A and B are shown apart, each in its own frame.
Chain A
């Protein structure tokens, strides 16, 4: 494939994926409001379009037209760049996430992944999510307000603590697949065992790692029950108290984009990625893996919302104790047992 073809194909893929990601972020807000409403025995948004489906458009218009207020005593350079940092790192990690197999469109073969398969794909995602802490920490500090500072300190400490058990839980998957490359990890989960159970990592030995990953990911994205950094009843709004309109919208988008990234990673590493029943004509066979991938990602986003409105919030010392004293030893135990079993 010549260099110009490669660039054009990559640009098309990037545009398509970013468009789908941002739409997914907007509609996961809609999903959250609807599911929240039904859990709380009320309708969610219903007025703007059928089933409230145009509500994200109305929200977008609101964010753009709202008064963008910059409080007088903030540290302006960081106040203005913190939302940019947050949203940039939240959206960047989708570049290494594969959605399906190689497709062949008119003689051009290309993988369904923006960056060609890196052999350290998993580490890249971990690196980008660990850089996302800066957006929150700098936002809280530069806002020059006690609620923001406390929220930012809590968020940074929480995210750094749970990053450890997140990484350790992923190493079990890594040992079983033998590679950091996301595509190879998914390919190692093909086929079935015991006749009909698919060889996804969640069934095939990494169940404990799956739950540790899920809990750590909830803490990383600052979602309930770990949402103390932005708890309304405690901290007004935590690190994004002093932000309004578009800058707040960027933090909002960053949070939901992080949720989508975590859901994508969970499906790739534990739920077999795009593996699922494939049938039909070749055009359908190209699209079905992507469809199964989206179904699994949707399940995780729904799980996020479901957990949010079911569980009460952790107190901060409970949160830190849980991360260091329970999750970390369990993750190390999982790693040791996996390594022993694979080595023999």
Chain B
């Protein structure tokens, strides 16, 4: 009884945070609403018996990824959203669309799903069980995921590096630098 009440409570906070994210005009408020969503998801995981996943959700998602979101918003100094004609049309068509989509997905999941139900506490959520799954049963997907993340890191490094950095290492001036040197009359 208490369990169900807590679950609904955190579920409500989660959905309210998500709706607030869409409604807020300033991006920082949206980012903070997303933090609320992440934290309430962690509470939901805890209520389902997955304590390790809940803790990692807080550490990684709410504590690192969202900090980087907030970081970017602070650096870019993004201002408030403005309501234009296009965005009003989007709201008019979008909200009924989302409601219809949600009802459709819920209906399919509830009526056609053949995977069955699991009782709370039926699956183990402690670190030891998760480690057993990750490193024994699902070792290949685990390693492939880490290679994907490595590719993403390499892509970010390449995208973020300035084009002049490569040329400069060989001691020759880059294209823009050559133009400046010539115009200052210092080089032919």
Do A and B truly interact? Answer: yes
Instruction: Determine how close the nearest CB of chain A comes to the CB of B25; give it in whole angstroms.
Output: 13
- CB < 8 Å: which of A75, A123, A134, A160 contacts B56? A123
Residue numbers in A under 8 Å from B56 (CB-CB): 123
Interface residues of B in 42-94 (CB under 8 A from A): 51-52, 55-56, 58-59, 62-64, 67-68, 70-71, 74-75
- B172 / chain A contacts, CB cutoff of 8 Å: none
Knowing A131-B63, A153-B75, A160-B67, say if A120 contacts B51 (CB, 8 Å). yes
CB-defined contacts of A152 to chain B, threshold 8 Å: 74
Query: Is B173 interfacial (CB-CB < 8 Å)?
Result: no
Q: Which single residue of chain B is at the shortest CB-CB distance from A142? A: B28
A-B pairs under 8 A by CB, number: 66
Contact yes or no, A160 B28, CB < 8 A: no
Q: Tell me if B126 is interfacial: C-beta within 8 Å of chain A.
A: yes
Which of B11-37 touch A at CB < 8 Å? 28-29, 32, 35
Asked, given contacts A130-B63, A131-B63, A160-B68, whether A180 binds B127 with beta carbons under 8 Å apart, the answer is yes
Within 8 A of B (CB), among A127-149: 127-128, 130-131, 133-134, 137-138, 140-141, 149
Report the separation of the CA atoms of residues A163 and B55 in the bound assembly, to the nearest whole angstrom: 15
A128 to B127, CA, bound (A): 19
Closest-by-CB residue of B relative to A127 is B58
Residue pair A156, B71 in contact (C-beta under 8 Å):
yes
> In this assembly, does A24 line the interface, its C-beta being within 8 Å of a C-beta of chain B?
no
Alpha-carbon separation in the docked complex, A77 to B26 (Å):
12
Contact A153 B62 (CB under 8 A): no
Q: How close is B74's CB to chain A, nearest CB, in angstroms?
A: 5
User: A124 contacts the other chain (Cβ, under 8 Å)?
Assistant: yes
A141 touches B68 (CB 8 A): no
Contact of A134 among B51, B52, B55, B70 (CB under 8 A): B70
Shortest C-beta distance, A7 to chain B (Å), equals 14
Taking CB atoms, residues of chain A closer than 8 Å to B35 are 134
- The number of residues on chain B lying at the interface, defined by a beta carbon within 8 Å of a beta carbon of chain A, is 21
Is A78 part of the contact surface with B, judged by Cβ < 8 Å?
Answer: yes
B59 touching A126, Cβ below 8 Å: yes
Interface residues of A in 42-90 (CB under 8 A from B): 75, 77-78
Q: Is the CB of A157 within 8 A of B71?
A: yes
User: Is A119 among interface residues, defined by CB-CB distance under 8 A?
Assistant: yes
B74 touches A127 (CB 8 A): no
Q: Mark each residue of chain B from 139 to 171: 1 if its CB lies under 8 Å from any CB of chain A, else 0.
A: 000000000000000000000000000000000
Over the window 99-135 of chain A, the binary record of Cβ atoms lying under 8 Å from chain B Cβ atoms (1 yes, 0 no) is 0000000000000000000111001101110110110
Q: Are A134 and B59 in contact (CB-based, < 8 A)?
A: no
Neighbour of B28 across the interface among A130, A133, A141, A167, CB < 8 A: A141
Q: How far is the CA of A133 from the CA of B29 in the complex (A)?
A: 16
With A130-B64, A180-B127 in contact, do A137 and B59 touch (Cβ < 8 Å)? no
Q: How far is the CB of B163 from chain A (nearest CB, A)?
A: 22
Contacts of A133 on B, CB cut-off 8 Å? 63, 67
| Residues on B with beta carbons closer than 8 Å to the beta carbon of A131 | 58, 62-63
| The 9 A-B residue pairs with the shortest CB-CB distance in the complex, in nearest-first order | A130-B63, A123-B55, A127-B58, A141-B74, A127-B59, A120-B55, A133-B67, A120-B51, A131-B63
Which B residues are within 8 Å of any A CB, using their own CB?
28-29, 32, 35, 51-52, 55-56, 58-59, 62-64, 67-68, 70-71, 74-75, 126-127
Given contacts A137-B71, A137-B74, 8 further A-B contacts (CB under 8 A): A119-B51, A119-B126, A120-B55, A130-B63, A130-B67, A156-B67, A156-B71, A163-B64
Task: Pull 19 A–B residue pairs with CB atoms less than 8 Å apart, ordered by A.
Answer: A78-B28, A120-B52, A120-B55, A123-B56, A124-B55, A127-B59, A127-B62, A127-B63, A130-B58, A130-B64, A133-B63, A133-B67, A137-B67, A138-B28, A138-B70, A141-B74, A153-B74, A157-B71, A160-B64
